[in-house]
Amino acid sequence: MTTRQFGQPVLRREDPRLVTGNGRYLDDLGHTAYEAAFVRSPHAHARITDIDVEGALDVEGVVAIFTHEDLEGPAADRLPLLIPHPSIEAGRTGHALAKDDVNHVGEAIAMVVATNRYVAEDAAQRIVVSYEFLPPVVGIENARDGANLVHDDAPGNVAAHLLQEVGDVESALAAAPHTLTLDLDIERSACTPMEGRGVLAQWDSDEQRLRLHSSTQTSTGVRAAVAAKLQLPLSQVECIAPDVGGGFGVKIMHPWPEEVLVPWAARRLDHDVKWTEDRREHFTASAHERGQVQQVTVGFDDDGRLLGLDVRFWHDNGAYLPYGVIVPIITATQLLGPYKPQNYRVEFWSLYTNTAIVTPYRGAGRPQGCFAMERTMDAIAAELGLDRAEVRSRNFIQPEEMPFDQGLMFQDGRPLKYDSGDFPASLAKLKALVGWDDFAAYREEAESQGRKVGLGIGCYVEGTGVGPYEGGHVHVETSGRVNVATGLTTQGQGHQTILAQIVADELGVSIDDVHVTTGDTRRMPYAVGTFASRGAVMSGNAVALAARAVRAKALRIAADALEVAEEDLQIEDGTISVKGAPHASIALSTVAVMSNPLRYAFDESAKAATQFAGTFDPDKPPVADDEEPGLEGKDFYSPTQATFANGMHAAIVETDPVTAEIKILRYCVIHDCGTVVNPMIVEGQVHGGVAQGVGGALYERMAYDETGQLLNASFMDFLMPYASEIPHIETDHLETPSPLNPLGIKGAGEAGTIPVTAVIASAIEDAEGFPIRSMPISPHELWDLRRAHAHALETVSPTPTEESA
Amino acid sequence: MKPAPFVHHGPRTLDEAVAVLGEVGHDGKVLAGGQSLIPVLNMRLAQPAHLVDINRVAGLDTVTVTDSHVRVGATVRHAELEKHDEAYAVLPLLRQALLCVAHPAIRNRGTTVGSIAHADAAGEMPSVLVLTQGVIEVVGPRGRREVAALEFFEGPLQTVLEADELVEAVRFARFAPGTRTAFLESARRSGDYAVAGVGVAVDVSTDSGEAVVTGARAAYVSVTDIPVVVDLTDAVAGQPVSSVWDGVDELVQAGIAPEADIHASSEYRRMLAAELTRRALTRATTEGTA
């Protein structure tokens, strides 16, 4: 009897290879390739007046030095604005190598190709670039004020402006018994995967063919972009994502300048060229996220029920807008979480600044939205003196209201319609897990010991598994080996394991016989990529559908051979047998042989198949009209809309009464991502997500000074938390299957990150007794806040003035 | 992040090391554990033409404990000193401080002497050396000389060491019997450079039958340009060991000059240094022995 794999905590099959140093990452490839290094702008905003490469040319080992002047055709044009949107008023993108001006520190100006990276950097150091300085625009306040412009033709530094409204917010607020206004602020952070970006290009001049390896989250996207930029037929370009040491969003952005330049140089030099990003480059020349300034006005009744919600926010999109406005759109729509505000208006401005570009980072705008909504919920509770969980509960969408249409347009251009979820049940589980109702006693005991503790909460809904599609290909070899291919890429999440679990079950084979390939355009040329927590939903369902096609074909062939009806057959452990008569059986490997009329007897399976040669009908072709040779199947999964996962987190923090140091004592997660394929992998995803969330809440920020210099562009000063900073994470799960897809699953990749900033702010606020409106927060900032509030209490009015009823 | 070209010298004896440093020292750096130097080279913040790698020099890798001091050779790793039981027995402050030096992986490579010669204001071991009133043993083309710890440091990353000189060893002086010590830091993440840190040495007398403090000194991390000893005796002398040390603030504030950076304001560091001092005094007097 085959053990069902789906739902089991199957050990990750990729781990033995990855944790013993046998992964093959980008820099492990291309040992004989030339290596590239870049001269990057040390200035945030400047006009380039001269580039003098003279001194670099005679460095021994230098092969070529390129500037924008050397580029030709589409490669010299601006990089694409990948995802256009009607809200974009001034969409600006950069060049692969800067032309005339630079708009952020780290922008590439010249490319040096040399025999190795050391030599390339020696030469890069000798290239002299002259600049005429322009006033830098740094920070949302400066961008909004518009006195200086990043792009002359983007007035007010506005890249995009969008307003969405459901109901009549103005009337609702006017009629509401209570209103509050909150000014909120959330700072930049970044994905910071262990492996940075990297590209290896191999040009085959005999075949006029380009093979590209990129540390990317989308090999099909990179392939198409490079073909277009290099004016190559798509058929002459292949792109493979090797092992990728983390992405978290930054590698879904494409084409990066280097993804265009490295293959361009490889073709021009007729030699393999490689570029491996270093950490400093990653900080200044890749992408960041999160920075927003928000203003929320909320109207509510005496019970804390929302009557109207008016949100305006300003989103820092950095120097260019290659990835469009996906992030602020997600903030605007996902902000609502599990609540129904009745009347909702959201308006955002996406602003240029002279800083690194902003593209999705795990959570992708949701942490900011969750922060706005959950700070608002806490403010309502504080205003009315109600329990914070109770206020949330009163505003929940109820299970019987599912599917629930929020009346907005989501990031995929489709209606924001929740498919399922049981928010009251999730909250009940969370309260039980964290001991919500016993916290008063816990706090009292801590206070008696001179300790300050606080309890925080945050709820979210996450649109996952957005389309348009993903494909699966399943092929059974005559050995019984099952090859599975899907086009989306993997960055270590465990796709190889969960996709194998799904196929093993669907096909009735041992998981050990299933081999999964991801992100290789040679195996699956039509694919989208890994982002938006879509891997399991999209490729999971796609490979399931493909496996079902293979199963149907196998049963067809076996039924013919065994002369029984298909319905009477079963597949277990790779053997097809007649139900109730297990001796009448045929191996799947044998069926694979039979599926191909070209039957050279290379191996035992082929020999075995000869006994099932069947009847020979000279009037029929060896391959029937509606059949194909081989036991394989391909299918695509394309959903009508995203599926909506949800979760609720709670944390207990302790703040040092003197030094304001902040410690997370407990962190509890209730997570609902529909039917779970592998609970251990989901748990790992939640843990990793929470860890990145803790980074964003308490440690990480991009410290740009007023001139646009990034002061903390290293892991010494950019405080990505260590394991020692991450609390033990307690989790519990709820499974409300998605009605939208055959497997009932929802995405899980980003979930853990989304509410952490909101939860920690809530807990610190609870410990301190004054509002927390700006995150992340460090001990010295909390200490400053304490003094400001103590001072305010001593000197002015007895009531806080920031928000008035 | 690849270093600029340099010539690597790998002397096997101290004489060879001194000789080669004499030749290239003006445009060279001594490489021991490399935990500060290598990142600086990789970022091309420094581009010395020569590296004099002393890791193969015989005789520099020993810890010697005598009646008066603990002598630490130039290639002794932090981890070796941290785990050296004999050194701990006579001078617990060493292990107390070394546990605050970065992370185990860094302590496995980094050297205590290197950290002192590097003279980073955020380094723990310069402050420990100063607090013990230790001595730096310097060797160079003009022979050997000894420098008192307090005379050694001139500014952040600056010492009296000449370009052609090498620190052969440092001697941490042992405290008088009855001196208790503690070392405390507050860092943003565990093992980071401290926002502020303090080592204290507290003299305790039990002559009267009750444990009473007779004197105390502190040395700081990250809140002074160079390691200095702040004498807290006036604020603590005569108090029982169970005291709460409220009176130290003025002396601490007079002795430090913290600067602001992206991790903390100077005001916050002032508060933190004083609070850490109080906690370190408590820890030393209630837990520490020497």
Q: Where are the domains of chain B?
A: 7-56, 63-173, 179-286
Which chain B residue is nearest to residue A120, measuring alpha carbons? B2
Cβ distance of B193 and A716 shorter than 8 Å: yes
Which chain B residue is nearest to residue A703, measuring alpha carbons? B262
- CA distances from residue B77 to B34, B112, B141 in whole angstroms, order as listed: 11, 6, 26
DSSP, residue by residue, A530-579: S-TT-IIIIIIHHHHHHHHHHHHHHHHHHHHHHTS-GGGEEEETTEEEET
Which of B4, B189, B275 faces A122 most closely, judged by CB atoms? Answer: B4
Residue type at B135? V
Cα–Cα nearest to A318, from A127, A151, A523: A151
What residues contact A621, with CB distance under 8 A and at least 6 apart?
A: none
Which chain B residue is nearest to residue A276, measuring alpha carbons? B1
CATH of domain B63-173: 3.30.465.10
CB A536 within 8 A of CB A748: yes
Cβ distance of B4 and A725 shorter than 8 Å: no
The pLDDT assigned to A349 comes to: 98
* C-alpha dihedral (B140, B144, B146, B151), degrees to nearest 10: -30
pLDDT in tens, A605-617: 667 766 665 556 7
Which chain B residue is nearest to residue A720, measuring alpha carbons? B189
Separation of alpha carbons A425 and A119, rounded Å: 61
Q: Which fold has domain B7-56?
A: 3.30.43
- CA distances from residue B51 to B8, B17, B141 in whole angstroms, order as listed: 5, 11, 17
- Both tokens of A672, joined, read 């609902």
The contacts found for B257-266 with CB under 8 angstroms, 24 or more apart, are: B257/B223, B257/B224, B257/B225, B258/B196, B258/B222, B258/B223, B258/B224, B262/A703, B262/A711, B262/A712, B262/A717, B263/A717, B263/A719, B263/A778, B263/A780, B263/B188, B263/B195, B264/A778, B264/A779, B264/A780, B264/B195, B264/B196, B265/A780, B265/A784
Separation of alpha carbons A121 and A127, rounded Å: 10
The pLDDT assigned to A801 comes to: 44
Residues 109-128 (A) with a CB less than 8 A from some CB of B: 117-118, 121-122, 125
Whether pTM > 0.90 for this model: the answer is yes
Task: Identify the CATH homologous superfamily for domain B179-286.
Answer: CO dehydrogenase flavoprotein, C-terminal domain (3.30.390.50)
Task: Report which secondary-structure segment, H or E, holds B18.
Answer: helix B14-24
The pLDDT assigned to A616 comes to: 64
- A-chain residues within 8 Å CB-CB of B3? 118
Cβ distance of A121 and B2 shorter than 8 Å: yes
Task: Report which secondary-structure segment, H or E, holds A46.
Answer: strand A46-52
What residues contact B169, with CB distance under 8 A and at least 6 apart?
A: B60, B71, B72, B73, B74, B113, B137
Cβ of A280 under 8 Å from any chain B Cβ? Answer: yes
Identify the CATH class of A468-637.
alpha beta
Task: Report which secondary-structure segment, H or E, holds B51.
Answer: strand B50-53
Separation of alpha carbons B118 and B99, rounded Å: 19
pLDDT of B275 over the 50 cut: yes
- Both tokens of B91, joined, read 């001078």
Composition of chain A by helix, strand, coil, percent to 5: 35, 25, 40
Kindly indicate whether the domain formed by A32-134+197-244+251-285 is annotated with CATH number 3.90.1170.50.
yes
How many CB pairs below 8 A link A and B? Answer: 64
**Strand A357-358 and strand A287-288: pairing?**
parallel
Give the minimum alpha-carbon distance from A669 to chain B in angstroms, rounded to a whole number.
24
Question: How many percent of chain B have pLDDT more than 70?
Answer: 99
Most B-contacting residue of A40, A126, A659 (CB-CB within 10 A), to test interface: A659
The pLDDT assigned to A1 comes to: 45
Backbone dihedral region of A157: left (phi > 0), alpha (psi from -120 to 50 degrees) or beta? left
Place of tokens 């009292």: A444
The pLDDT assigned to A614 comes to: 56
- CA distances from residue A391 to A52, A385, A387, A462, A762 in whole angstroms, order as listed: 64, 10, 6, 21, 14
Kindly indicate whether the domain formed by A363-466+640-795 is annotated with CATH number 3.30.365.10.
yes
Q: How many CB atoms lie within 10 A of CB A629?
A: 11
Cα–Cα nearest to A640, from A333, A334, A414: A414
Beta-bridge mates of residue B216: B202
Separation of alpha carbons A216 and B114, rounded Å: 41
Composition of chain B by helix, strand, coil, percent to 5: 35, 30, 35
Given CA atoms A385, A386, A392, A396 in this order, what sign does their dihedral have?
negative
Cβ distance of A721 and B189 shorter than 8 Å: yes
Q: What was the ipTM of the complex prediction?
A: 0.95
Given CA atoms B252, B254, B257, B263 in this order, what sign does their dihedral have?
positive
Residue length of chain A: 805
Which residues does B contribute to its contact with A (CB < 8 Å)?
1-5, 39, 43-44, 186, 188-193, 195, 262-265, 268, 271-272, 275
- CA distances from residue A124 to A154, A355, A356, A687 in whole angstroms, order as listed: 33, 22, 21, 41
Residues of chain A with pLDDT under 70: 1-2, 599-602, 605-606, 609-616, 796-805
CB B85 within 8 A of CB B70: no
Cis peptide bond prior to A424, omega within 30° of 0: no
Q: Which residue ranges does chain A devote to CATH 3.90.1170.50?
A: 32-134+197-244+251-285
Separation of alpha carbons A355 and A318, rounded Å: 5
Separation of alpha carbons B281 and B290, rounded Å: 14
Cβ distance of A699 and B191 shorter than 8 Å: no
Separation of alpha carbons A2 and A513, rounded Å: 13
Separation of alpha carbons A758 and A370, rounded Å: 7
Query: A556-566 burial by CB neighbour count: b if 16+ within 10 A, else e?
Result: ebbbebbebee
Which chain B residue is nearest to residue A784, measuring alpha carbons? B268
CB A730 within 8 A of CB A670: no
Q: How many CB atoms lie within 10 A of CB A317?
A: 30
Beta-bridge mates of residue A292: A186, A315
Cis peptide bond prior to A776, omega within 30° of 0: yes
The pLDDT assigned to A625 comes to: 82
Q: Which residue ranges does chain A devote to CATH 3.30.365.10?
A: 363-466+640-795, 468-637
Separation of alpha carbons A197 and B88, rounded Å: 46
Which chain B residue is nearest to residue A38, measuring alpha carbons? B1
- B-chain residues within 8 Å CB-CB of A118? 2-3, 5
| SS3 call for B178 | coil
CB A112 within 8 A of CB A65: yes
Angle at A238 between CA A237 and CA A241, to 5 degrees: 145
The pLDDT assigned to A599 comes to: 66
Residue length of chain B: 290
Residue type at A274? K
Given CA atoms B253, B259, B264, B267 in this order, what sign does their dihedral have?
positive
Cα–Cα nearest to A145, from A351, A332, A295: A351
Separation of alpha carbons B60 and B139, rounded Å: 12
pLDDT in tens, A734-783: 999 999 999 999 999 999 999 999 999 999 999 999 999 999 999 999 99
- CA distances from residue B36 to B32, B111, B118 in whole angstroms, order as listed: 10, 10, 8
CB A228 within 8 A of CB A2: no
CB B204 within 8 A of CB B181: no
Which of B5, B43, B268 faces A280 most closely, judged by CB atoms? Answer: B43
CB A395 within 8 A of CB A305: yes
The pLDDT assigned to A803 comes to: 46
Given CA atoms A664, A670, A671, A676 in this order, what sign does their dihedral have?
positive
* B121-127 mean pLDDT: 96
